[in-house]
Structure 1
Amino acid sequence: MLANSPVESFSFAGREIFLKRDDLLHPGFSGNKARKFAYFLDQEFAGVTKLIGHGSAQANSLYSLSALAKLKGWQCDFYVDHIASHVLTLPTGNYAAAIANGTRVIDLSSLIAANPFVQRELKWTCHEYIVQQVLPAEPNALFIPEGGRCQYAEYGVNQLAAEIETWAMQQGMTDLKVFLPAGTGTTALFLNQYFVRQQSDIRVLTCAVVGGDAYLRQQFSMLNPNSAEHPQILNADKKYHFGKLYPEFYAMWLRICASGVQFELLYDPLGFIVLEKYLPQWDASPVMYIHQGGLLGNETMLPRYLRKFGQSSSAHGEKHLLSDAKTLCV
């Protein structure tokens, strides 16, 4: 069982922040997805020989499912809407690591185009295709929904919550604020739900990275309709679009990586921008930030940032910037 990731002290915006290092859970299986998928690692699944998932070709869940399947001795098939040509030409990041783990990444658009028996006029989503076309012929397969947004995630997130609660008690802390940026919000929801039900004074705060507040509240309600158990959603000063490159994201990433801890470039920059905005309101409360891993994504995100914001630099200067960033985040 994966548990007891360390807590470190981290200086940010003139405050001491406690950093829950879930990126250090296991060399090959860590972070947010390891917590969400912990149930599948810990339980026995008699007769299962294959793990099936879906998402994007560079998703953190792709690599995490590949690592889970490898640990369990299963084949992993991961369905994607498409695979960009540059990813096929020069595999990097989560895609390359998953392939190295033996995962078959299946391009649904190419599969349908090559299969005369599939009704091509139907606009299949990966989920629909798996449920209707794949699972009926795969009795020994275990299917995990995209990103791990399911009730099974509660098992591993509860373990994380219990670790945080025990740590806070050992430190003699009260009114601990736990902050993490959210995609589907599954981890934030189950964390706060645990603390509320345990009648703890620990509360979870989050911000919407993938969609807006309405999207995040909808995701919460799909797993738990009781809004009294939902985390508080905090906002940045402007609207950001998921996956778009922003200079303030890159600047924040360089700031936080200067601490010597590597962070990822997709969720953490916005997380720390929002955290910095609200920290002055929490003067009397200790604050914990959950490091959710996802570091392999930097292999694709960092070159994108350098291409976009390094155009005015000389070739030598751009190489130096890349070297500095990698040095910060080794």
Structure 2
Amino acid sequence: TLLRDTVRTLLRDHRVYVTDWVDARMVPGSEGEFGLDDYIAYIQEFIRHLGVERLHVVSVCQPTVPVLAAVSLMASRGEPTPRTLVMMGGPIDARCSPTAVNNLATQNPLSWFENNVIHTVPASYPGAGRRVYPGFLQHAGFLSMNPSRHFSSHWDFYTDLVKGDLEDADAHRRFYDEYNAVLDMPAKYYLDTISVVFQDFLLPRGEWVVNGEKVDPSAIRDTALLSIEGELDDIAGLGQTEAAQALCSGIPAERREHFIVDGAGHYGIFSGRRWREVVYPKVRDFFAAHAEAPAAKATKKKSNVTPLRRKAG
């Protein structure tokens, strides 16, 4: 729902592949757990399946961290990596400009989250017995972050009905039918993220190890990087996404860019007018500028042979 406008706009000029979630309440316990390391492995599978030759990877908010980890690990192994990485409003280093989201994570131990927001799927679902961060709690959290905006929206809905403006009322219904349709998230993934990203800051501290391999973003060489932040983002504060620039020190400076969207909040950088008119043209042009693999640097050797020059065209 939140990325609908993102995808619709990207489809103007690109083929778009979207990674999606299966509702954890619908997955039998026999399928095993799903944690942050599993998600990183899936991202690598997606990249290998699609092929890196023409691949641009866009990550919005939370996935910026596992995406950067996935590509870093691939680079460390000597695997080819995508043409570009676009990271938008994500907590690469949640220590920068901490927001209410960050403060909640640092003010409570991991055990608090495990005891207060993790529940068990009831018997009426295929995933009965699975531990999850339930959708109804996520929904309550979303509403509590901008209660006045949701109140105003529902008041406008009421006045539209009174005025007989059924077109606007139907648009409201369609939006909230989707906005209210949340899924349950695997407990392990949620708790891993709280621990790794928001409490221990393992990525920016250079201490993140995934299945025995150290996550080293400086190993990335051949992928261009664009980080994007909203000036007024109250979820991922200024500097949190920009931190990827310093971590990816192996990417030449001319292949790295950071873009701050004036007047934009968190959702404004990937949805709405600013996304379509300001951010997307920047992203599209970045893709085009780095569509080709960087030229390999030739090793300098002494030679008495005069090199031939190929005619232009």
Q: Same fold (TM over 0.5)?
A: no
TM-score when normalising by structure 2: 0.34
Structure showing greater radius of gyration is: 2
Structure ranking higher in strand proportion: 1
